[in-house]
Structure 1
Amino acid sequence: MVVIAFNRQTASANRFAAEIISPEIPHCDDPTLHCYAICIPRKFFEERYRLYVPDIPVFNRKKFEICSDILKYMNMFAFEASKNMQNSDITLNANAELITHWIIRSILGESMDMRSISNDYSVAKAQHYMEHHFGEPITIKRLSELGFVSPSGLTHKFKAELGVSPIEYLIEIRIQRAKIMLQRKNMTVTEIANACGFSNSAYFSSCFQKRVGRTPTEYQRRYRTAQK
C-alpha cells in the first residue's frame, strides 16, 4: 500500500510525501491530514518494478517524494470507477499502469520526469524547454518568445495555473535534477551547480537549502549514509 499524504498547507505545493506500508497498518490517524491509500497487487507491482531494476528491495516503510500531478490521474481513476461506463475496465487498467509506473519512478528519484504538461500552449512550451535546457542560461524573455506571449503574460499564466513564476519553476527543476546528481554521481557540488545551470556554487547552495532544508553537501552525506 502506498500512502500519499497532503493537507491545506501542501495542497498547492508540487510535491507530496509518500510512504510504502503494509495494508494492515492504519495509514491516517491524524484528523487534520488527508491522504490517498493506493493498494497495488504485489505481483503486478514487482513485474513493473523489474522493468527498471532487476532486484526489488524490502520496502520497510519506505518514504519518498511524489509529484502532486499524480492526483489528477488518481482522481480520474476514481471518477471512471464510479461511473461504470462502457469499456471502463480498459481505461481503468491504463490508469493503473500509469499510476504504478509513476510511483516506481518516484521511488527511484525520478518523479520530476512525471510532471504533467500544461494544456496552455505557452506554458507547455516553456515547461518543455526548461526540462530539456535546465543546465543552460534561461531568461523569461526567451521563454515568453517560445509561446508567443509577453514576459508578463507568461508570468501571469504560470502563477495562475502552477502558483509560481516561470523562474521559480525553473529553479525547482534544477534543484530536483541536482538531488538526483547528488545521489547518483561522483561529482563535486561546484560541478553539479554548473551542470544544473546555477551561476555559482554559493547561489546553488542557497537555493538548495531554502527548498530542501539542508545544504547540498549535507544532503549528499545523509543520503549516502542512509544507503549504507
Structure 2
Amino acid sequence: MNARLIAAIDTPDLPRAQELVRCLKAHCGLVKLGLEFFLRHGPDGLMAVAQGTDVFLDLKLFDIPNTVAGAVRSLLPLEPRLLTVHASGGSKMINAAVEATTHAQGVRPKILAVTVLTSFDEAGLAETGIADGTAQQVLRLARLALDAGADGLVCSPHEIALLRQAFGKKPLLVVPGIRPAGVALADQARVMTPEQAVAAGADYIVVGRPITNAAIPAEAAAMIAAAIK
C-alpha cells in the first residue's frame, strides 16, 4: 500500500463504489468521494463504502462562513481525513471551516483549499475575469488560504514547484490531474505523470479513471503505487 496514492471513486453506483474500495484499499492510502457520490448516497453511503479506509471527502464547500462552518460540523461524525473548501470563498470562510474542525471528537479532518480547478487553462480563467494567468491566481488563493489556517491545498501538478518555492514544505499538497504516461487527457488541461508529481513535491496524488476504468483496477493501482514508492 502506498500512503501517497488516493483513488478517486467518482461514481454514483453504490455497489460499484464498494467493490472498487474493496479491491483498491490494499494499494491506496485513501479513497476520494465527491459530489457525484455524496449527493446520491449521503453519509450512510460514505460509511458503507469506506470499509475502514481513510476518506478524502471532496465537496469543495463554498458559501457564507456560517453555513460552511455548519456544514463542516455536520460532517465531523463521518471522520473524513481530508475535506475541501474553495479558496475563492475568502479568508473568513476558510477560517470558519478550520475553526469548525476543532469540534471533532475523533480525528480532526484537514482542511484543503482548492485553488484553480485542473479543468481550467489560461483562456478559461480569462473568461471568469482573471486576466493575469493561472500561476498568479494559484499563488494569490494559496496565500489567502494558508493565512486563514488551511492545512493544505489542492492544486494542479504544474503548480507544485511554484507552491513549494513560495511556501516551503509545510502545506499539504494534494494533486489531481494525474495521468500515467500514455493515458488520454480527457477533461483535464494541466496534468502530469505520478512519478513527475511526487518528484515535484506532491504529498498525495489523486488518480481516478486510469485506475477505476482499467480492466483490472487493483493492478492499475498497484502499478502506480509501485511507480511512486
Range class of TM-score, shorter chain = 0.3 to 0.5
Calculate the TM-score normalised by the size of structure 2: 0.32
Higher relative contact order (CA 8 A, sep 6+): 2
Tell me which protein shows more strand as a share of its residues. 2
Tell me the TM-score normalised to structure 1 length: 0.32
Larger Rg: 1
